[in-house]
Structure 1
Amino acid sequence: MLKEFKNFIMTGNVIDFAVAVILAGAMGLVINGFVADIIMPIVGHFAGGVDFANLKVVLTEGVGVEGAEGYVAENAIRWGAWVNTIVNLLIVGFVMFLIVKAYNKTKAPVEEAPPAGPTAEELLAEIRDALKK
């Protein structure tokens, strides 16, 4: 059983998948940083200096100081963070589109077989018919 597991793990597909998952996680961190540190400040600047990450609708105000007795945390709908997430999703989708498009260009084009000509029997039948005329 251990030998079968070793053969399964060492196949190319599993290793390729593991590398893809690790790279996707790293790419996600890079894109999150890009959105949070570059894109959203620009969007906020053109939206009148708004920081989207802090936009929220407060349902219940927080009471007291965190860690103190009787503290009640704020309850809010953080819609600005959700806007950041949507922008992040759009950028990730666009980057993945570009990667897949570039990958498809690197693949060798599949050559189609030339159209099949008439068979020998069809050619002989045409010759026969032409001779009859």
Structure 2
Amino acid sequence: MGMVKEFKEFAIKGNVIDLAVAVIIGGAFGKIVSSFVNDIVMPPLGVLLGGVDFKDLVLVLKAGYTEDGVDIPAVVLSYGNFIQNVVDFVIIAFVIFLAIRAINFRKKKEEAAPAAPVAPPKSEVLLEEIRDLLKK
């Protein structure tokens, strides 16, 4: 019974909820970046390279053929699709790098802010007053 209670506390604390939210947002962000790469970045890059559509870049290892009315698909290496995925990864990694860099910059800025001076204890203040009186 104790383990069930611990699990409920763990799940309700927010750690699991925060993780679930992060996964959902990460998935949506991945779709946005993939769309950005596929729809915005790669078409102009393809035009610059002479009208190449990266999705069509393949290396045929074994040609497809028809055998007794059944189409047997070709065996291909889709290196164009791989290039698009690499570009996706680089963009995602760069955006995450920028986000972490901004968070670290903010933390350093907060740490660098001078803390309010701590008031000395009353006994120390009293001793300083006694010292000052003895000097006179």
TM-score range for the pair, normalised by the shorter chain length: 0.7 to 0.9
Residues in 2 aligned to 1:85 and 1:92: alpha-carbon distance in whole angstroms: 10
Residues in 1 aligned to 2:104 and 2:80: alpha-carbon distance in whole angstroms: 36
Which letter does structure 2 place at the counterpart of 1:54? D
Residues in 2 aligned to 1:4 and 1:13: alpha-carbon distance in whole angstroms: 13
Cross-structure match for 1:123: none
- Structure 1 residue ranges, 4+ long, deviating more than 4 angstroms after superposition: none
> For 1:16-56, what per-residue CA distance to the aligned partner results, in whole angstroms no more than 9, with x for missing partners?
22211111111001001110111000111111110111101
1:25 to 27, 30, 34: 27
Cross-structure match for 2:52: 50
Fraction of identical pairs, as percent: 41
Higher strand share: 2
Cross-structure match for 2:130: none
* Cα RMSD, aligned residues only: 2.2
Which letter does structure 1 place at the counterpart of 2:110? P
Higher helix share: 2
Equivalent positions of 1:1-133 (< 5 A) are 1-64=3-66, 69-107=69-107, 108-111=109-112
Q: Give the paired residue count.
A: 111
> For 1:59-99, what per-residue CA distance to the aligned partner results, in whole angstroms no more than 9, with x for missing partners?
1111239xx94221110111111111111111111111111
Structure 2 gap ranges (5+): 116-136
Structure 1 gap ranges (5+): 114-133
Which letter does structure 1 place at the counterpart of 2:4? L
Residues in 1 aligned to 2:15 and 2:72: alpha-carbon distance in whole angstroms: 50
